[in-house]
Structure 1
Amino acid sequence: MTRSETFTFVAVYLALLVLLAATTAASFVDLGVWNAVVNLGIAALKAGLVAWFFMELRRAAALVRLAAVAGLFWLVLLFGLGFADFLTRTRFPS
């Protein structure tokens, strides 16, 4: 491993620690409905960093990148369908 790769991995690790601290800090701040948006954004950023650097998608072949994007698309599709089902249900008073 070269010196620049080591520096990159350490920088990404420190960025992940900062994002962890941001997630923890966001849990103590009342942002109303924006809490979920902020925390999901931070989680997506952390997942992107892990996939890009530690899973080495930046150096992967095009087919491997395509498989990663297809998996992400499938996840978004399933969450979207679940959310659409949730929004279209009628609520009966108890």
Structure 2
Amino acid sequence: MDNSQHTHIVKYKTFAWVLLILLIFTFSSVAITQLELGVYSVTAALVFASIKSVIVLMYFMHLKFDKKFYAIMMAGIVLLLASVIFVTFLDYLYR
């Protein structure tokens, strides 16, 4: 067994806070669909979904505790996905 590996222990209290935050964002994203935001409805839903996915990545997938290289790679993937979605919206708007 390699002794260079280290483990991290996350308290249950932290997971409870993360769960509470995710529930708040989920209820907020449901509530925002009741508002008439016009063309910004999808944008607001995507912003809430992005925030929730970053929280899940950081805590439940332990990206916060891993090497920074993994976080940089994940940020690059998220930026690529955001740019594809942006270009898709531009195509939809100017069609």
Report the TM-score, using the length of structure 1 for normalisation: 0.76
Q: Which has the higher helix share?
A: 1
How many residues in Structure 1 have an aligned counterpart in Structure 2? 88
* Matched residue, 2:38: 32
Give the distance between the partners of 1:62 and 1:50, measured in 2 at CA.
Answer: 17
* Matched residue, 2:64: 58
Tell me by how many angstroms 1:7 deviates.
0.5
Tell me by how many angstroms 1:88 deviates.
4.3
Give the distance between the partners of 2:30 and 2:86, measured in 1 at CA.
Answer: 26
Tell me by how many angstroms 1:82 deviates.
2.5
CA 1:35–1:85: 2 relative to 1, 3 Å: closer
**Match status 1:9 vs 2:15:** yes
Consecutive unaligned residues of structure 1, counting only runs of 5 or more, are 90-94
Aligned partner letter, 1:17? L
Query: Percent identity of the aligned residues?
Result: 25
Report the TM-score, using the length of structure 2 for normalisation: 0.76
* Matched residue, 1:68: 74
RMSD over aligned Cα atoms: 2.0
Give the distance between the partners of 2:90 and 2:43, measured in 1 at CA.
Answer: 17
Consecutive unaligned residues of structure 2, counting only runs of 5 or more, are 1-7
* Matched residue, 1:80: 86
Tell me by how many angstroms 1:45 deviates.
1.1
